[in-house]
Structure 1
Amino acid sequence: MPVKVAHICAVPSSLKFLLSDQMRYLEEQGYEIHAISSPGPYQDDIIEQLDGRWYPARISRSISPLDDLRGVWDVARVCARERFDIVHTHTPKGTLLGQLGAHLGRVPIVIQTLHGFYFIALEEGSLSRRLVHALETFTCRATSELVLSQNAEDVARLLREGVCGPDKAQVLGNGIDISRFKPRDFDDDELRRRREAVGLKPDGPVLGIVGRYVLGKGYRELCEAVQLLAPRYPTLQVLAIGARPTSERPEEVFLPDQDPIAGERFVCLYDRQDMEELYRLMDLFVLPSWREGMPRSSMEASATGLAVVTTDVRGCRETVTHDDNGLLVEVRNSRLLAEAIAALLDDPERREAMGRRGLQRARDEFDQQVVFRRVADSYAALLKRHVRA
């Protein structure tokens, strides 16, 4: 019988956009893959991919003790019924509720991918930061047999704080489908036509940003930077692409095209499946996130030959080396963000050289197949350990 593995996320969009290729790879290796998440957009895509092996659970991104207990119970019932061999959790709430439910459902192997600590983006010293830190530490220390971290800095933190040892916390990395992305290879007339087709004006520099429409992705800071840049670059535009907000807390949502000052310079697209073509409409990629695990969007931008301006936070630092394939700026500092963007807009040769180095780095370091093999090897090692036990 095949080994049964359940991946758990808060929402189906994470299963689709973060894990669908990984789940497909694991199926090719002989694992029987299942998925658990709250209902929502893209659940039908996951149901189709997994031949119906998707199960709903009340996993909300917001903190609601009663609903969270129900979510734990939902996961526990599915795990007890399906008798999974491995439960692999992702995202903060998916990990917390999923791991508790998996243990209640008596799953023998429970692991997590750490997509970046969430507490780091919260206000220093705040009650919410201390609470989230405690919960994230708890899942790493007490409920996970293995923690696969997307970035090395989070592993270093776990080891430094004594949360777990090097046998339990390992660097997984992150990757993309390198074959899907390639630099722009059409002339200026075709570029104008394609830009107009998505709602952009045909001429002028185009910045790009890809990410959920939430404050934590740095959209407010980008709006402020664009406002500072507007007098110098009157034709500047921003192409933003993200999932339509559905499960986010209302206070976290930020739609840049509705900004009263800079909004008119933004074209916002939702739920696109043609990212490999949209990157090729950009002149420079910007990701001013407050926190990241290891951002796929900046890797995809590099694989398209774009220079990247991003924040000097862990995760982002693993995809961009300052003054090599892009620039790093202080987080939540719109003035420095504007200065970095201007520096590269004013120097096309420097920007294009960074793009070429980023393209080579993507080909050398960001292939998702390497990550998938690490996951499969981790499963095999854990299964072997349990057989011996």
Structure 2
Amino acid sequence: MPKKIIQGVTSSLSILFVREQVQFIENHGYQVTVVCNKDFEISYDGITVDHIPFEREISLFQDIRTLYKLFKYLNREKPDIINFSTPKAGLLGMIAGRIAGIGTRIYIQRGLRLETAEGIKKYILYATEKTACTLSTHVIVVSDSLEEEMVSRKLLRREKVVRIGKGSSNGIDTKKYDPAVINSDRLARLRNGLGIEPTDVVIGYIGRLTRDKGSNELIESFVDLADKYDHLKLLLVGDFEESDPIEEKNSKRIHSHEKIIHCAYTDGMEYYYSLMDIFALPTYREGFSNVSIEAQAMGVPVVSFDSTGARDTIENNRTGLVVKSNDAEGLSAALEDLIHHREKRVRLSKHARKFIVDNFDRHHMQKELLKFYNTLGEQGDYNVEENDEYIGA
């Protein structure tokens, strides 16, 4: 009989990101069910999904009810392995799994929100992370620097840490993110529609427009640079977020500056990367950064802050440039370096795609995850120190 895995995430939207991974694991001898809430109506074709009413924000009464439902569910299903990620599902999953006596309890840590939290919220986030890590048998981290951050904050012991390959949640589809498959006519239509000239140098950014993502520093750096370089444009793809807003003056600049192009999230991101000469990643924290490896897979060098998770996606001075975190002047200097030196952009671009294909291809990452699952005994007796291929030390 195949081993049973229950994989938990908070939001049903996350199904879009784990579907291929779940199908791959099922095709190699496991029975996998995904549990999540039902906050979005999406297709579950090809995977088995059960609904548990996880709430994103803290709601003591509702969280206790959800914990009880999850315990009853796990106690009934009796999985061999549970694998939960995202803060709320991770916390409740590890508690319910421990009470239900599940032998192998995996918590996937994709990024520490507490790094940039303040006040009482920071203490609450620390307590939830500490609890999830303590009650797990394994903690998968998605980058080396995230491991270092968690160990230094005494959230867990290093011997409990597991890293799949060189990191990331699931790698990326390097056949989709490949300059060789871009349709030149479609790209030309997009370029013309956005008003980008062939002679323009385009700095790009894809992601939420928030303070934590360094959007203030990026806008301010660009405005200064745009005064010096007539052929410069900034392409922003993403939405504003009210819970972590950027400064009002920068929000107004995004809407009014003649050289800033702002688009909402859309399909065909590979075409937007193809318009960029430089990708900016001035984030304050990440667990990892998929947009960074997507950009590099498309041959676009990345300029990033030296922040948790983000720095693991770049080979400094080989596929991109890493500058001191939260340093707007350093960001401007690195961007200007690549604006001014086209030959350096070309050199970084040549190395970028190979680096990503060799280390973060999705199929490769799925095979590494399968190897990890295959090492797990029925009682979760995987010895991390004896399998250092997976250790992020």
TM range (shorter): 0.7 to 0.9
Corresponding residue of 2:127: 134
How far the C-alpha of 1:163 sits from its partner, in A, is 4.9
CA contact (8 A) 1:87 1:102 kept: yes
Corresponding residue of 2:290: 296
CA gap of 1:183–1:226, structure 2 versus 1, over 3 A, is same
**1:276 alignment partner, one of 246, 270, 280:** 270
How far the C-alpha of 1:162 sits from its partner, in A, is 5.7
Map residues 192-231 of structure 1 onto 2, 5 A cutoff. Answer: 192-197=188-193, 199-203=194-198, 204-231=200-227
How far the C-alpha of 1:316 sits from its partner, in A, is 1.3
CA contact (8 A) 1:257 1:267 kept: no
Q: Percent identity?
A: 26
The answer to whether structure 1 residue 49 and structure 2 residue 70 are counterparts is no
Q: Look up the SS of the partner of 1:251 in the other structure.
A: coil
CA–CA separation in structure 1 for the residues paired with 2:223 and 2:65: 45
CA–CA separation in structure 1 for the residues paired with 2:39 and 2:209: 17
Give the AA of the match of 1:221: E
Give the AA of the match of 1:24: Q
User: Structure 1, residues 99-118: CA drift from partner, whole Å, max 9, x if none?
Assistant: 22333444332101211222
**2:86 alignment partner, one of 63, 70, 91:** 91
Deviates more, 1:65-74 or 1:172-181: 65-74
CA contact (8 A) 1:312 1:329 kept: yes
Per chain length, whose mean CA-contact separation is higher, i.e. which structure has more relative contact order (CA < 8 Å, sep 6+)? Answer: 2
Give the AA of the match of 2:253: I
Corresponding residue of 1:168: 160
CA contact (8 A) 1:312 1:328 kept: yes
Map residues 1-389 of structure 1 onto 2, 5 A cutoff. Answer: 1-17=1-17, 19-41=18-40, 43-45=41-43, 47-50=44-47, 53-123=48-118, 126-140=119-133, 142-159=134-151, 163-172=155-164, 173-174=167-168, 175-183=171-179, 191-197=187-193, 199-203=194-198, 204-234=200-230, 236-242=232-238, 250-252=242-244, 259-264=251-256, 265-270=260-265, 272-385=266-379
Give the AA of the match of 1:103: R
Normalising by structure 2, we get a TM-score of 0.84
Give the AA of the match of 1:28: N
CA–CA separation in structure 1 for the residues paired with 2:182 and 2:74: 51
RMSD of aligned Cα (Å): 3.0
CA–CA separation in structure 2 for the residues paired with 1:373 and 1:256: 46
Corresponding residue of 2:391: none
CA gap of 1:105–1:255, structure 2 versus 1, over 3 A, is farther
CA–CA separation in structure 1 for the residues paired with 2:351 and 2:144: 22
CA–CA separation in structure 1 for the residues paired with 2:148 and 2:338: 33
User: Structure 1, residues 61-103: CA drift from partner, whole Å, max 9, x if none?
Assistant: 3233233323323433432343332211112222112222333
CA gap of 1:373–1:253, structure 2 versus 1, over 3 A, is farther
How far the C-alpha of 1:349 sits from its partner, in A, is 0.9
CA contact (8 A) 2:254 2:262 kept: no
Corresponding residue of 2:386: none
CA–CA separation in structure 2 for the residues paired with 1:206 and 1:315: 25
CA–CA separation in structure 1 for the residues paired with 2:255 and 2:50: 39
CA gap of 1:73–1:273, structure 2 versus 1, over 3 A, is farther
Q: Look up the SS of the partner of 2:377 in the other structure.
A: helix
CA gap of 1:49–1:237, structure 2 versus 1, over 3 A, is farther
How far the C-alpha of 1:13 sits from its partner, in A, is 2.8
Give the AA of the match of 2:254: A
CA gap of 1:138–1:213, structure 2 versus 1, over 3 A, is same
User: What is the aligned residue count?
Assistant: 374
Q: Look up the SS of the partner of 1:111 in the other structure.
A: strand
Query: 5+ unaligned residues in a row in structure 1: which ranges?
Result: none
User: Structure 1, residues 114-163: CA drift from partner, whole Å, max 9, x if none?
Assistant: 1122212224xx332233223212211x2111111111233344555665
How far the C-alpha of 1:29 sits from its partner, in A, is 1.1
CA contact (8 A) 1:184 1:280 kept: no
How far the C-alpha of 1:354 sits from its partner, in A, is 0.8
CA gap of 1:260–1:286, structure 2 versus 1, over 3 A, is same
Normalising by structure 1, we get a TM-score of 0.85
CA–CA separation in structure 2 for the residues paired with 1:275 and 1:112: 30
CA–CA separation in structure 1 for the residues paired with 2:57 and 2:291: 25
CA gap of 1:49–1:236, structure 2 versus 1, over 3 A, is farther
CA contact (8 A) 1:257 1:263 kept: no
Q: Look up the SS of the partner of 1:240 in the other structure.
A: strand
CA–CA separation in structure 2 for the residues paired with 1:88 and 1:256: 41
CA–CA separation in structure 2 for the residues paired with 1:303 and 1:31: 31
Query: 5+ unaligned residues in a row in structure 2: which ranges?
Result: 383-393
